Each structure stands twice: as C-alpha cells, then as structure tokens.
Amino acid sequence: MADFKWHPNEPPPSIEEHSKAKLDVLRSYLRAYFDRLSINPSRDQFKLDLIDGFAGGGTFLAGDEIVSGTPLIMLEESEAAIDRLNQSRTKTLHFDFKYYFVDIEAAHTNHLRKVLDERGYQVDSERIVVHNSRFEDVVDDIIAEIRRRQPRAGRSLFLLDQCGFSQVEISLIARIFSELPAAEIILTFAADALTNFLAETPEFVRMVTPLELTEQRISDLIQLRNGDGGRALVQRILRGHIRNATKATYDTPFFIRPRQSRRALWFLHLSRHPTARDVMIQCHWNNYNKFEHYGPGGFDMLGWDALNSETLPLFHFEELDAEAMRRQLLNSMPNELFSLASEEPVTIDTMRHMFANRTAARFSDLDSVVLELFREREIEILRPDGTVRSRALRRVTPTDRIAFPQQLLLPGTSRRR
Ligand SMILES: C[S@@+](CC[C@H](N)C(=O)[O-])C[C@H]1O[C@@H](n2cnc3c(N)ncnc32)[C@H](O)[C@@H]1O
C-alpha cells in the first residue's frame, strides 16, 4: 500500500488509480448520505460532525491537475449539500457542520493547513480543527466534543483511511459506536496484504495487536489460507472478526482492486443503522466499475461462503449484474424466507435487516423480489392487522408481514429454475 508523503513546500504526491477510486466513492457516498437525509420540514437546524482521522495533506496531483483529498471532499460535499437540500424547503435549514482533521505527521498537517488556507477556510476555528496527533490520542476528546454539541443524536461520519491494515485500533471503533450510536465509520483495510503477510512470528503478532487477532486465530488463518479454504475463507473470517470486534451491526465490504498489484483494498462501511447501510449499497451501484466483488449476486454473493474465490466470476454492479442478482434472489429467497418465517410471520423490516449483511441487494431490490414471490403465490403478504394484502400490491411497507401459505409444504417447489 502506498505511503503518501506531503510537505508544505513541495507539490502534493501523485495519486494512484485505486486512491482515485476511493476518493470518487467517498464523494458519491457523502452526496447520497445528504440526499437521503429526511429532515423534518419544521426543523431549522441540522448538526453533523465529520472526522477524518487519517487525513493526509489535503490534495494530490493527477497529471498536471490538483485534485482534492479526503478532507477537502468532506468540506466540498457538505457545503454543496446545503444549497441542494434548501432548494425544496420553504423554511431555511441552517447546517451546523464541524470538521476534525487528524494526521500523525506534522508535514502532512502543515500541507493541509496551507491548502485549506488557500481555499479561504479558517483553520482552528469553531468549525474546522486540524490536529497533528495520533488519531488514537485525540479520539476521546473528539467524541466528547461531539457529545457536547449533539447530546442526543451524536450524528457523525468518521473516515479512517489508514495505510495497510493495522494502524487503526479496532477497539477504538467499538468505543466510538458505544459513545455515539448514530456514528458511521468508513475504514480502509488492506485485506489481501494481511492475508499474504500472515505469519506466526513475534513481529507479525505484535503488528496485528490493534486488530485483536490472537496467536491461535493467526495460526488458524494460516492453516486455512494454505489449505482448501484459501483466501476467500480467510477473508470471510476476517470480515466477521472485524464486525464483531467493532460491534457494528451492519458492514458493507467491497474491493478496490489496484490494477498493478492486484492486491485488494477493502472499503469497509460500518454502522448500526439499516438506512446507513442501504445508502452505502446504493452508492456502490452508482459507482459500478469502481468496485467489484467475488461471487454471484444473490445471498453470500460476497464470496465468503465460496471455497475458492479465484474461480468465481467478479461482480461489477452493472445492469447485467443487477438482472443476474434478481434471478438468483428469486431462486434463493423462498428457502431463505422459509427459514425466517416458517414458524411465524416476519415483518418486511426484519427481513431487510436479516439479509442486509449478506447481499449486494438494496432494500428496494429485496422488496421487489418479495413482491414477485407474492404475485407467484409462493408467500403471503399480510397487513399489520393480519389480513392478506391484494395480489395487485405494488409496494410493501416495513410493517407488512411475510407469511407462508398453510398448504405449501416445501418452499420453492413451484418455482421454475
Ligand atoms: C492513506 S493516507 C491518507 C490519505 C487521505 N485520506 C486522502 O485520501 O486524501 C494515511 C495517512 O494517515 C497518517 N497516519 C498514520 N498513522 C496515523 C495515526 N495513528 N493517527 C493519525 N494519522 C496517521 C499518515 O501520516 C498518512 O498521512
């Protein structure tokens, strides 16, 4: 993984293709985040804290052009949203954003201060704070400040764009979620590099201390990597480990695959909110070609349950993939729904949450497959009062319930495959 260097008296570093992809998706995620906010029309103020914990120097060179790095993207996208969101409102909404940019290297924060200054931003004001520190040394102060500003909601977006896989202490993320349940966290993670470097040496064990990987776990992972399970199984276990250790409810892991090295970087979105996860998935669909993943499009598409990921096709979030995903979901959903709802009906909301970490489908995709199965009489859809909806139903609501017709003994038997 590239280790970028900035210095205030020198041009910024040249950007690489995978870093460019990462910047594009961050921009589009922020755009989608703001556009999906449903802010009560009677409200007149909206607060949000944006934290870039591994901020770098603020800009890159792309050929002769200077392009914005992550701290500038946070500023640009949040400012653009102010105008966009106010256009459709009668009562003006005042946005109160606060930004915290942290980097361990003084030369990097000095470069960042310079580019912010050149663009007219007031650094170290009430609004923008630049810390030259280790993120882990200032995170508690930042959390306290967010709680002071937003005692109830604690609405915040954290970007932890580390180099490699072991700079972010996983326990910090759990702490952020426990103090700020509304937080969303984007973590970059060099999953392939970690898989390659796995070793039982004291240096490696020390290196991955921040990840809370025990020696036993490392030894198991090495055995899996070298055995039939291969890299896909190692990465599936890593993914589960990160989700559990960070105490995130939802995770959306996707690959950014640099062309030269072919070593995948995960862009991992962690949250405790289903809507946050859905915005992230939508964003992947909008950015097709930037992300890809092993596996088909239905359940377990992420390749985690496939024994040998090398032989799986890549999923690119394109139209053809969308159609293939719909077909696969139509085939696999009856069994999945049967496991969920055979004993008693489950709400659409529960169905969405149960499937969220297992597929690239947006909630709208899952809903439309459920509707199709309802039209084909594979399942019933009940109103909250228990009465059956009409087969002409066009949209489900989160409180509708999925049930199985009594006469259906085996799920999926009426579907043609
Ligand atoms: C991948 S670069 C960030 C690039 C930036 N996010 C962008 O795309 O515009 C990672 C940065 O993290 C900084 N860093 C490394 N360890 C850190 C730590 N413990 N706390 C804060 N910053 C750290 C490095 O100095 C480097 O500038």
pLDDT by residue (tens digit) across 34-53? 887 767 778 888 999 999 99
Instruction: Identify the pLDDT of residue 8.
Output: 96
132 Cβ below 6 A of ligand 1 = no
68 Cβ below 6 A of ligand 1 = no
Confidence of residue 308 (pLDDT cuts 50, 70, 90): very low
CATH number, domain 17-315, options 3.30.70, 2.20.130, 3.40.50, 2.40.160: 3.40.50
**15: amino acid identity, one letter:** I
Query: How many angstroms is it from 163 CA to the middle of ligand 1?
Result: 7
List b or e across 185-220, with b for residues whose CB sees 16 or more CB atoms inside 10 angstroms.
Answer: bbbbbbbbbbbebbeeeeebeebbebbbbeeeebee
110 Cβ below 6 A of ligand 1 = no
Confidence of residue 294 (pLDDT cuts 50, 70, 90): very low
Summarize the chain as % helix, strand, coil (round to 5). Answer: 45, 20, 40
Instruction: Identify the pLDDT of residue 259.
Output: 57
Percent of the chain with pLDDT over 70: 84
Which residues, 6+ apart, have CB-to-CB distance to 408 below 8 Å?
378, 414
Instruction: Identify the pLDDT of residue 11.
Output: 95
Instruction: Identify the pLDDT of residue 41.
Output: 78
Residues 235, 312: contact at Cβ < 8 Å? no
Percent of the chain with pLDDT over 90: 47
Is the pLDDT confidence value at 315 over 70?
A: no
Which atom of ligand 1 is found nearest the CA of 73?
A: 9
Q: How many CB atoms lie within 10 A of CB 359?
A: 24
100 Cβ below 6 A of ligand 1 = no
Determine the average pLDDT of the residues in 307-322.
46
107 Cβ below 6 A of ligand 1 = no
Instruction: Identify the pLDDT of residue 32.
Output: 82
Question: What's the CA gap between 239 and 231, in Å, rounded?
Answer: 12
Instruction: Identify the pLDDT of residue 313.
Output: 41
Which atom of ligand 1 is found nearest the CA of 6?
A: 27
Confidence of residue 317 (pLDDT cuts 50, 70, 90): low
pLDDT digits (tens, 9 = 90+) for 80-114: 999 888 888 888 889 999 999 999 999 999 999 99
CATH architecture group of domain 319-403: Orthogonal Bundle (1.10)
Query: How many angstroms is it from 79 CA to the middle of ligand 1?
Result: 23
Write down the pTM of the prediction: 0.79
Which atom of ligand 1 is found nearest the CA of 70?
A: 9
Which residue has better confidence, 188 or 38? 188
For the sheet containing 401-403, what is the strand order? 346-347, 401-403, 380-382
Strand-pair partners of 382: 388, 401
How far are the Cα atoms of 12, 230, 346, 361 from residue 399, in angstroms, in the given order? 52, 41, 9, 20
Q: Sign of the CA dihedral 40, 41, 44, 48?
A: positive
Question: Among residues 229, 6, 228, 223, which one has the least CA distance to residue 107?
Answer: 6
Question: What's the CA gap between 359 and 341, in Å, rounded?
Answer: 19
Q: Outline which parts of the chain fall under CATH 3.40.50.
A: 17-315
Instruction: Identify the pLDDT of residue 22.
Output: 83
Q: Collapse the DSSP code of 138 into the 3-class scheme (helix H, G, I; strand E, B; otherwise coil) and give the result.
A: helix
**Which range among 28-37, 268-277, 310-319, 383-392 has the greatest average pLDDT?**
383-392
pLDDT digits (tens, 9 = 90+) for 206-238: 999 999 998 988 998 898 888 766 777 787 788
Question: What's the CA gap between 196 and 206, in Å, rounded?
Answer: 16
Strand-pair partners of 412: none
Instruction: Identify the pLDDT of residue 320.
Output: 55
Q: Outline which parts of the chain fall under CATH 1.10.10.
A: 319-403
Determine the average pLDDT of the residues in 303-318.
38
Which atom of ligand 1 is found nearest the CA of 23?
A: 8
Question: What's the CA gap between 13 and 76, in Å, rounded?
Answer: 21
Query: How many angstroms is it from 393 CA to the middle of ligand 1?
Result: 50
- Find where tokens 């509707």 sit: 371
Instruction: Identify the pLDDT of residue 154.
Output: 92
